[in-house]
């Protein structure tokens, strides 16, 4: 059996056997997230209707749930899918977009957390608020540094028995015991909408590839974004050209380059 111990090895393994990833994401993110998965080497399917979301989760290799553009019907689909993923042993990822903004979102996220996500991925403001802290987030945008969210992430990971990923200038990943920081990316990334949502879907793709190493899979997905983001920023004139260069950089990124350039440190 091939060992999938580095981000590059996991990227290679994903491309050799592209996983089917069910993405329940928001209207803003659907197109870019699907393109991010295709460019990286996974198969996305945006399936959210309550009538089919659970049935689909049973055939997908991983599920991702993002509450960005929420409605009651979507919540029904999310819960059905999360239950089906758990009962069929598939990893699932929660992206609690702006959950602190309204009671509707807070309640939806509390119910989803009770269904035991395998991984939680959010920006610093979202993770601070999930741990009960005072976050300065404005709508979907983070206003807090990642360093400020590290304690919250560790607490949340222990309480939920999940891997928690906090993204921003330097990303942070923990399972409650281990923790790492990942450098890279670009200041242009938060200027392009839904790249965080797309990353959540890619975390699902890596988790499908390495379900035996959820921590490593999460680190690999974030590392892929970090290096492709750096590469895309080199020739970008602004967020517009960064956006298409980023898809090209994801598609062009190979395992060796990823492993040679990634900067991961123990936290």
Ligand X SMILES: Nc1ncnc2c1ncn2[C@@H]1O[C@H](COP(=O)(O)OP(=O)(O)OP(=O)(O)O)[C@@H](O)[C@H]1O
State the burial class of residue 169 (Cβ atoms within 10 Å of its Cβ: 0-12, 13-18, 19+).
middle
CB of 226 to ligand X, least distance (A): 6
CB of 253 to ligand X, least distance (A): 13
Element (H, E) at 32: helix 30-40
In the complex with ligand Cc1ncsc1CCO, the residue whose CB is nearer, 6 or 171, is: 171
- Vertex 242, ends 239 and 246: CA angle to 5°? 140
In the list 190, 255, 257, 267, the residue contacting ligand X (rule: CB under 6 A) is 190
Q: Does 29 bind ligand Cc1ncsc1CCO (CB under 6 A)?
A: yes
CB of 165 to ligand Cc1ncsc1CCO, least distance (A): 15
- In SS3 terms, 183-251 reads as ECCCCCHHHCCCHHHHHHHHHHHHHHHCCCCHHHHHHHHHHHHHHHHHHHHHCCCCHHHHHHHHHHHHH
In the complex with ligand X, the residue whose CB is nearer, 80 or 98, is: 98
In Å, what is the CA distance from 183 to each residue of 39, 44, 55, 98, 238? 22, 27, 38, 24, 21
Q: Give yes or no for a contact between 19 and 92, defined as CB atoms under 8 angstroms apart.
A: no
Q: Does 186 bind ligand X (CB under 6 A)?
A: yes
The Cα 93–Cα 121 span in angstroms is 7
Q: Does 97 bind ligand Cc1ncsc1CCO (CB under 6 A)?
A: yes
State the helix-helix crossing angle for 7-16 and 195-209, rounded to 10 degrees: 80
Q: Does 145 bind ligand X (CB under 6 A)?
A: no
> Is 189 among the annotated ligand-binding positions?
no
> Is 46 among the annotated ligand-binding positions?
yes
In the complex with Mg ion, the residue whose CB is nearer, 4 or 121, is: 121
Give the one entry of ligand Cc1ncsc1CCO, ligand X, Mg ion, none that residue 168 binds, where binding means its C-beta sits below a cut-off of 5 to 8 angstroms depending on kind: ligand X
In the list 100, 225, 242, 246, the residue contacting ligand X (rule: CB under 6 A) is 225
Q: Does 197 bind ligand X (CB under 6 A)?
A: yes
Considering only residues 102 through 161, tell me which ones interact with ligand Cc1ncsc1CCO, judged by CB under 6 A.
Answer: 140
Stretch that binds ligand X, among 53-61, 74-82, 163-171, 211-219 (CB under 6 A): 163-171
Q: Give yes or no for a contact between 87 and 53, defined as CB atoms under 8 angstroms apart.
A: no
In the list 5, 31, 69, 73, the residue contacting ligand Cc1ncsc1CCO (rule: CB under 6 A) is 69
Q: Does 194 bind ligand Cc1ncsc1CCO (CB under 6 A)?
A: yes
CB atoms inside a 10 Å sphere around CB 123: 25
From the list 15, 167, 181, the residue with the least C-alpha distance to 97 is 167
From the list 194, 221, 189, the residue with the least C-alpha distance to 206 is 221
Q: Which residues in this chain contact ligand X in the complex, by CB under 6 A?
A: 97, 123, 140, 142, 167-169, 171, 185-187, 189-190, 193-197, 199, 225, 229
Feature table: binding site for substrate: 46, 194
């Amino acid at each position: 059996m091939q060992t999938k111990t580095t981000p590059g090895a996991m990227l290679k393994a994903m491309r050799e056997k592209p996983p089917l990833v069910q993405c329940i994401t928001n209207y803003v993110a659907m197109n870019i997230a699907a393109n991010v998965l295709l460019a990286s080497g996974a198969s996305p399917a945006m399936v959210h209707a309550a009538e089919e979301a659970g049935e689909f989760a049973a055939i997908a290799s991983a599920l991702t749930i993002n509450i960005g553009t929420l409605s009651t019907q979507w919540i029904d689909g999310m819960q059905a899918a999360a239950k089906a993923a758990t009962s069929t042993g598939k990893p699932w990822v929660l992206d609690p977009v702006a959950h602190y903004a309204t009671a509707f979102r807070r309640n939806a996220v509390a119910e989803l957390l009770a269904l035991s996500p395998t991984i939680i991925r959010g920006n610093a403001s979202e993770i601070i608020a999930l741990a009960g802290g005072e976050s300065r987030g404005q709508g979907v945008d983070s206003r807090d540094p990642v360093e400020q969210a590290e304690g919250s992430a560790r607490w949340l990971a222990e309480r939920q028995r999940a891997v928690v990923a906090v993204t921003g200038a330097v990303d942070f990943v923990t399972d409650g015991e281990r923790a790492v920081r990942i450098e890279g990316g670009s200041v242009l990334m938060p200027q392009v909408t839904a790249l965080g949502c797309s990353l959540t879907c890619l975390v699902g793709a890596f988790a499908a590839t390495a379900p035996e190493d959820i921590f490593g899979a999460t680190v690999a997905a974030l590392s892929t974004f970090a290096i492709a983001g750096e590469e895309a920023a080199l020739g970008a004139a602004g967020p517009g050209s960064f956006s298409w260069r980023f898809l090209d950089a994801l598609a062009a990124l190979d395992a060796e380059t990823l492993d040679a350039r990634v900067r991961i440190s123990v936290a």
